Amino acid sequence: MSEVKNNTNPGPTPKVDTRKTEINKFSLIFNKLGIWVIVILLAVVGMIVSKGDFFSSANIQSILEAVALIGMVSSGLIFVVYAGNMNDMSIPMTMAMSGMMTVQCINFGFPIALLIGLLTGAFIGVINGFMIGKLRANPIIWSWGFNMLLSGIARVVWGGKQLYADSIAKDTEYAQNAAETFYAIARTNVFGIFSIMILVMLVMFVIAWFIHTKTSYGQKAKIVGSNYEVAKFSGINCAKVAMITYVIDGVAAAVGGIFFSALRKTASYENGTGYDFSCVTAVLLGGVALAGGKGSVVGTFGGVLAYGILNNVLSWIGLGTYEKYLVQGLVFLFIVWLNTYSNRKLGKG
């Protein structure tokens, strides 16, 4: 009988997976806390350069007042970006037209003039929503072109003139009181603590948070922003979502434009210039993805605060306007890179 040989050859040695599986702790912390890490760091720097005066009530109020208008507009713009529309380039003229219509109608009384100003923003939002949501126009190209059209309309209708509420108000006590009330909304403090502008900004963020997290629209906007085709075939009315998105955005921009005009004591087609980029910067700093479907209202508020705190810190240091632009640009680019880096480390980029 032949002996049976035992095969003791174990075969080829299996390859060992040497890929790194440990999660970067810094990336995890930054991804969870996001812009608030930057806010805390900026506040620490502010404490140092201000020698302890950074958290004084006067300085905190100064920071909040400086970003109140950006915050108002950003509370609506977040929905545009979140729903995958990148940015609303018609924000400058939405702000300007809303302020001009409010001042133009001041003789009807402040409440009616205010309502007309808000409806102006909502109407612009309806047009944007229809063109972008229903007809699928490119959101950047359309809103940029629409902004130019609105600018032309404002220049033709009012002849390029600035509007003053006290000049437009007729010689009646009712109209003059309406003009005074209009100017006062940007200069009145509530209980001697915060200005009405700050209070309105905070209320708008609370409303935006509720819409974003507690309504079916907020969930649908996330799906649309993440993948439009999936949302469409899931039965979501994408055109309706876009319409609601731009109406919210238009009303928020209108509120900012009305306060802007009241603060400057004049309404002009130039009001709101640059707010399309300033506000989208705050939204992106807050962690909202430009492609849509990712971000939060709380993060956006943090982005607005970071915008204001950085400017305040640079003022304490004593930098001039041009130097501030340089530093702001570098810091914002760094924050965007840091956010992208942390997402990629966690497999989310």
Domain boundaries, the chain: 58-339
Where does residue 248 rank: exposed (0-12), middle (13-18), buried (19+ CB within 10 A)? buried
CA atoms within 13 A on the CB side of 338: 21
Per-residue pLDDT tens listing for the chain (349 residues): 445 555 555 556 666 555 555 556 655 555 566 788 889 999 999 999 998 899 998 999 999 999 999 999 999 999 999 999 999 999 999 999 999 999 999 999 999 999 999 999 999 999 999 999 999 999 999 999 999 999 999 999 999 999 999 999 987 899 999 999 999 999 999 877 789 999 999 999 999 999 999 999 999 999 999 999 999 999 999 999 999 999 999 999 999 999 999 999 999 999 999 999 999 989 988 888 888 888 899 999 999 999 999 999 999 999 888 898 898 888 878 877 876 776 676 555 5
Give me the pLDDT at residue 23, please. 53
Task: Identify the bridge partners of residue 233 per DSSP, sorted by sequence position.
Answer: none
Phi-psi region of 224 (alpha: psi -120 to 50; beta: other; left: phi over 0): alpha
H or E element: which one contains 190?
strand 189-190
Cβ(59)–Cβ(50) below 8 Å: yes
CATH architecture observed for domain 58-339: Orthogonal Bundle (1.10)
Report the distance separating Cα 230 and Cα 338, nearest Å.
30
